[in-house]
Amino acid sequence: MHQKMIKVVSIYLLISVIIVESLCAATFWGKFDILTYNFPWAKLAASRWLQLYQPHYAGGYLVNYPPLLPTLFWPFGKIINFFNLSLSKGSGYQLASAFLTIKFQAMIFHWLIAAFVYWKSHSKIMGLGLASLILINPALWFNAAFWGQLDTALIFFIVLSFYYLSQRHFYLASFWFGLGCLAKLQFFYLVPLFGLTLLVLAKWRQTIYAVCLVIGVNILGWLPFMIAMRQITLPIKVITSSLNQYPELFANAFNGWAGVLKPQMWYRRLKMTNHIFGRVTFSQFNTVVLILIVGGLCLLFLQYWRQKRQNLPIALIGAIYSGFIFFFTTGQHERYQMGMLGFVILWVLLQNEWPLSRSLATYGWFTFIIFINEIFVYLSIYFNTKALTTFNQLLRVGGVINTLMFIIWVGLIIWQRKQQGSQSDEG
The amino acid present at 64, given as its one-letter code, is N
The pLDDT value recorded for residue 352 is 67
Per-residue pLDDT of the chain (427 residues; tens, 9 = 90+): 577 888 888 889 999 999 999 999 999 999 989 998 999 999 999 999 998 998 766 556 678 899 999 999 999 999 999 999 999 999 999 999 999 999 999 999 999 999 999 999 988 888 899 999 999 999 999 999 999 999 999 999 999 999 999 999 999 999 999 999 999 999 999 999 999 999 999 999 999 999 999 999 999 999 999 999 889 999 998 888 777 666 677 778 999 988 887 655 555 566 777 788 788 888 888 899 999 999 999 999 998 888 766 678 999 999 999 999 999 998 888 899 999 999 999 999 998 655 567 788 999 999 999 999 999 888 877 776 555 567 778 888 999 999 999 999 999 988 887 777 655 554 4
Closest CA to 370 of 402, 392, 343: 402
Task: Count Cβ atoms below 10 Å from residue 418 Cβ, excluding itself.
Answer: 10
| Cα(367)–Cα(363) distance, integer angstroms | 6
| Cα(321)–Cα(344) distance, integer angstroms | 12
The pLDDT value recorded for residue 355 is 54
| Cα(269)–Cα(334) distance, integer angstroms | 15
The pLDDT value recorded for residue 2 is 72
H or E element that contains 280 = strand 280-281
The pLDDT value recorded for residue 354 is 55
φ/ψ of 15, rounded to 5, equals: -65, -40
Closest CA to 133 of 146, 117, 149, 147: 117
What is the Cα gyration radius of the chain? 22
| Cα(219)–Cα(221) distance, integer angstroms | 5
The pLDDT value recorded for residue 60 is 62
Q: How would you class 136 by CB atoms within 10 Å of its CB: exposed for 0-12, middle for 13-18, buried for 19 or more? A: middle
Q: What is residue 185's DSSP assignment? A: G
Beta-carbon contacts of residue 115 (< 8 Å; ≥ 6 apart)? 14, 131
The pLDDT value recorded for residue 353 is 57
Chain centre to alpha carbon of residue 391: 25
Torsion of CA 88, 91, 93, 94, to 10 degrees: -50
Buried b (16+ CB within 10 A) or exposed e, 342-379: bbbbbbbbbbeeebeeebbebbeebbebbbbbbbbbbe
The pLDDT value recorded for residue 427 is 46
| Cα(253)–Cα(406) distance, integer angstroms | 14
| Cα(149)–Cα(151) distance, integer angstroms | 6
DSSP string, 20-80: HHHHHHHH----TTIIIIIHHHHHHHHH-GGGTT-HHHHTT----S-SHHHHHTHHHHHHH
DSSP string, 334-371: TTTTHHHHHHHHHHHHT-SS---SHHHHHHHHHHHHHH
The pLDDT value recorded for residue 263 is 58
Residue 231 Cα distances to 161, 222, 369, angstroms: 30, 11, 42
φ/ψ of 216, rounded to 5, equals: -65, -40
The pLDDT value recorded for residue 99 is 98
